[in-house]
Amino acid sequence: MLTKINNPRLMLTSVAASLLLLGCTATPVATDGVKSLAQLETVDSNTVNIKPDPSLPPLPIEKTGKIEVLPAKYPESWMFVDEVSFQSQFGGKMIILDVAEPKQSKLIKGTADKNLVGNFANSKTRPEFYILESFHERGSRGPRIDLLVIYDKVTLSPIKEIVLTHTRLTALPRRDSMTLSADEKFLYIANFSPAASFTVFDLDSREVVDTIGTPGCVLPFPTGERSITSICSNGSLLTTVLDNNGKKASQHRVAPFFDTDKTPIFERPSYIDGIGYFPSFAGEMHEIDLSNEVAQYKGKWSLISEEERTAGWRPGGMTLSDSDEQGLLYIIMNEAGFDGSQTHGGNQIWVFDVKSRTRIAKFDAPNWAVSVAVTRGKKPLVVVTNGEMNLDIIDPITGKFIRTLSDFGNVTPIVLFKAY
């Protein structure tokens, strides 16, 4: 059998590759400064015939059907990276990354698709994670479908897909757009159509239980065993108490504690021992007790001194804070903050002991900080999404910069989640 290739000089690389696949010998011959190949028979100036060499052994048969799996319990240094692909909003994914892995080839442990700015939630006790994504019938237009996909965390295979009928919240990625109850029986899904509500999904029966309206209040912050607290446009909170079946039992208002125009806050808290820590744009920290059936406001304290406030220090970022398992809170701070700089990020990371309400450390973000996350374990690593949308790894004990992670499929890795 002969293979026909036009323009042999331009296609020399393809010819060489074909020779390897077909089992042909090759001997370099100088012709007009270009290396030719033995057993290439020139028919005319534009055609070359390749003759296979039957004396060479066949290529070994490649084994198929081998499927790699991940451990049932993820190591402490693994994290879920929410790669939202924000420029196009299509082709987003969750990337499972070992941020302590020194070899680039072993950095990525797996991926799962997450289309059209999808939402993500991660279970601590169940062998699965959850992605809520959307599709339009004709790509970027046409009828829309919202799908909740349950993934096996070991094989990364979809276990089940559920079509949801209420319009999910589609916004910049955040850790609280989809959350789990304390016992992880229920999954709570934020909706915004633009009417605000949340959907209760039973993870045992794999069925939608109910969708509960929260007029003027958004996001499902888990509260107590069977409650959800939402933040409201007038500066208050709304706690929805569920019964054991996931149905609404009662709703309770918590008095306003901030002014949305004068003293706005970030709706992106960090949690330590049942307390939600909500920073304000100007540098105050509000504490909300979410450990009981109904949320309770516990007061506020300042992240900055008066001297630092005068100098312009403010918190800022897309996902601007996180906590470690020792009860410390990490937050991005900007020394040149102003009204309107709340999403700009900052040049330092400050570490707070929330029990004493004092700062115990601070260190520079070497390439700016847009978002921050902290790994699990007694010796955590700080992971910063920097200004170039790469990840900077920092030792929080010494404040020493370790390395930058890039080229792992990252475009806009705005949010990171601990992996369990």
Q: What is the DSSP letter of 105?
A: G
Count the alpha carbons within 13 Å of 409 in the hemisphere toward its beta carbon.
21
Q: Where are the domains of the chain?
A: 3-50, 78-418
In which band, very low, low, confident or very high, does the pLDDT at 48 lie, cut at 50, 70 and 90? Answer: confident
In which band, very low, low, confident or very high, does the pLDDT at 41 lie, cut at 50, 70 and 90? Answer: low
b/e burial code for range 203-229 (CB count within 10 A of at least 16 → b): beeeebbebbebeebbbbbbbbebbbb
Arithmetic mean of pLDDT, 257-269? 97
Helices and strands, counts by H and E, the chain: 2, 34
Count the alpha carbons within 13 Å of 385 in the hemisphere toward its beta carbon.
27
Higher per-residue confidence, 54 vs 27? 54
Q: What is the Cα–Cα distance from 122 to 357, expressed in whole angstroms?
A: 29
Q: What percentage of residues in the chain have a pLDDT greater than 90?
A: 81
Task: Look up the pTM and report it.
Answer: 0.85
Q: What is the Cα–Cα distance from 277 to 301, expressed in whole angstroms?
A: 11
Neighbours of 374 (CB within 10 A): 26
**pLDDT at residue 384 in the model:** 98
- For residue 240, which of 263, 210, 208 has the smallest C-alpha distance? 210
Give the SS3 label for residue 156. Answer: coil
Examine the pLDDT at 313 and tell me if it is beyond 70.
yes
Q: What is the Cα–Cα distance from 35 to 52, expressed in whole angstroms?
A: 19
In which band, very low, low, confident or very high, does the pLDDT at 417 lie, cut at 50, 70 and 90? Answer: very high
- Phi/psi region, residue 7 (left: phi>0; alpha: psi -120 to 50; beta: rest), is left
Examine the pLDDT at 4 and tell me if it is beyond 70.
no
Examine the pLDDT at 235 and tell me if it is beyond 70.
yes
Q: Tell me what the pLDDT averaged over the chain comes to.
A: 90
**Minimum mean pLDDT among 61-65, 75-79, 127-131, 273-277: which range?**
61-65
Asked if 352 contacts 284 with a C-beta cutoff of 8 angstroms, the reply is no
**pLDDT at residue 125 in the model:** 96
Q: What is the Cα–Cα distance from 131 to 418, expressed in whole angstroms?
A: 15
Span 264-283, pLDDT tens digits: 999 999 999 999 999 999 99
**pLDDT at residue 53 in the model:** 87
Residue showing tokens 């102003």: 338
Span 315-369, pLDDT tens digits: 999 999 999 999 999 999 999 999 999 999 999 999 999 999 999 999 999 999 9
Examine the pLDDT at 251 and tell me if it is beyond 50.
yes
Span 105-142, pLDDT tens digits: 999 999 999 999 999 999 999 999 999 999 999 988 99
Examine the pLDDT at 27 and tell me if it is beyond 60.
no
Examine the pLDDT at 31 and tell me if it is beyond 60.
no
Examine the pLDDT at 212 and tell me if it is beyond 50.
yes
**Regarding the domain delimited by 78-418, which CATH topology (the fold level of the hierarchy) does it fall under?**
Methylamine Dehydrogenase; Chain H (2.130.10)
Question: How distant is the alpha carbon of residue 392 from its chain centre?
Answer: 15
Supply the Cα-derived Rg of the chain in whole angstroms: 27
Q: What is the Cα–Cα distance from 257 to 250, expressed in whole angstroms?
A: 22
Arithmetic mean of pLDDT, 51-67? 87
**pLDDT at residue 188 in the model:** 98
Examine the pLDDT at 6 and tell me if it is beyond 70.
no
Phi, then psi, of 16 in degrees rounded to 5: -60, -40
In which band, very low, low, confident or very high, does the pLDDT at 88 lie, cut at 50, 70 and 90? Answer: confident
**pLDDT at residue 91 in the model:** 84
**Minimum mean pLDDT among 63-72, 77-86, 151-160: which range?**
63-72
Higher per-residue confidence, 135 vs 3? 135
Q: What is the Cα–Cα distance from 147 to 143, expressed in whole angstroms?
A: 13
**pLDDT at residue 187 in the model:** 98
**Minimum mean pLDDT among 34-38, 321-325, 393-397: which range?**
34-38
Structure tokens at 116: 């059209």
Residues with Cβ within 8 Å of 47's Cβ and at least 6 positions away in sequence, in order, are 4, 5, 6, 8
Examine the pLDDT at 245 and tell me if it is beyond 70.
yes
Q: Using CA of residue 180, residue 181, residue 185, residue 190, what is the dihedral sign?
A: negative
